[in-house]
């Protein structure tokens, strides 16, 4: 990703203020909404079966996060995916703790067949989603990001989507690109919702990119870069998770596209589908 490409994605988000429908887990709903507001998007936590389909048709992007699902929320998620598919609304699948829990694993392996625009998770979740691993320890990965490269390529090609694998170095894979992103800070792992809110920000950037000539790969990469750069900036003035939380939200709000680009490292590869 070049600086102009990052700037284009960043300014598309700022100028459109995309509306993101978040069907997400109850542990992270508040921080997810605050992160979306900080980056310039508009959050909507609309997840009931009766309203999800219609809302997805008018939203800019949709997040499906299976973190703390209920039977009703499963129905709402299916309805939202139906609405997103009808209106070509980009949607993101975050397969939280897939592999370790049977019911949610089956659910996520079912809905991935509906071709999400992007999939975001840790290496263990991504491997389990593809049926090639047993998952991690709850929401924590037990696999290295590098071990998920072939799995990510398989999912990207099978479902014509972008696959993002989060870790100390993030991996973004699509049909013809592999991107390694170095950003963030270890303190991000001491704060709930950094990964889950990343899925929502991916939906925001994808929504902003949908009507412009910005690739889904660059949109997902920009989302990761934005949150990671904010993490490194916040860590510089923080003494622990509490002060980091506030500083991270402030950095998400205050960083410019140039600030983001100078705080990250990117390695690009190309491959044939």
Annotated binding site for substrate: 45, 193
How far apart CA 103 and CA 71 sit, in angstroms, is 11
Q: Where are the strands (E) in the chain, listed by range? A: 19-23, 42-44, 61-65, 91-94, 118-122, 162-166, 170-173, 177-182, 265-270
In the β-sheet with 118-122, what is the strand arrangement from edge to edge?
42-44, 19-23, 61-65, 91-94, 118-122, 162-166, 170-173, 177-182, 265-270
How far apart CA 207 and CA 210 sit, in angstroms, is 5
Specify binding-site residues.
45, 120, 166, 193
Specify binding-site residues for ATP.
120, 166
How far apart CA 218 and CA 182 sit, in angstroms, is 15
Structure tokens belonging to residue 17 = 């203020």
Structure tokens belonging to residue 91 = 């949607």
Instruction: Assess contact for 228 and 252: CB atoms under 8 A.
Output: no
């Amino acid at each position: 990703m070049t600086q102009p490409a990052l700037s284009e994605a960043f300014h598309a988000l700022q100028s459109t203020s995309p509306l993101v429908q978040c069907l997400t887990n109850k542990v992270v709903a508040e921080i997810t909404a605050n992160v979306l507001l900080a980056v310039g998007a508009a959050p909507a936590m609309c997840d009931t079966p009766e309203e999800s389909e219609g809302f997805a048709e008018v939203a800019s992007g949709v997040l499906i996060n299976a973190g703390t699902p209920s039977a009703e929320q499963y129905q709402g998620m299916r309805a939202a995916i139906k609405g997103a598919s009808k209106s070509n609304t980009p949607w993101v699948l975050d397969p939280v703790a897939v592999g370790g829990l049977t019911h949610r694993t089956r659910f996520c392996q079912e809905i991935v067949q509906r071709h999400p625009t992007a999939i975001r998770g840790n290496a263990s979740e991504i491997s389990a989603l593809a049926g090639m691993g047993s998952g991690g320890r709850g929401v924590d990965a037990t696999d290295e990001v590098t071990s998920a490269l072939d799995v990510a390529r398989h999912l990207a090609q099978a479902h014509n989507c972008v696959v993002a694998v989060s870790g100390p170095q993030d991996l973004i894979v699509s049909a013809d690109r592999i991107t390694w992103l170095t950003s963030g800070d270890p303190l991000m792992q001491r704060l709930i919702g950094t990964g889950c809110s990343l899925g929502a920000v991916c939906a925001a950037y994808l929504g902003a990119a949908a009507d412009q000539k910005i690739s889904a790969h660059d949109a997902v990469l920009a989302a990761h870069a934005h949150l990671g750069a904010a993490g490194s900036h916040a860590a510089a003035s923080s003494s622990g998770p509490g002060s980091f939380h506030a500083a991270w939200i402030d950095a998400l709000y205050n960083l410019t596209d140039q600030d983001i680009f100078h705080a990250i490292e990117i390695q690009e590869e190309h491959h044939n589908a």
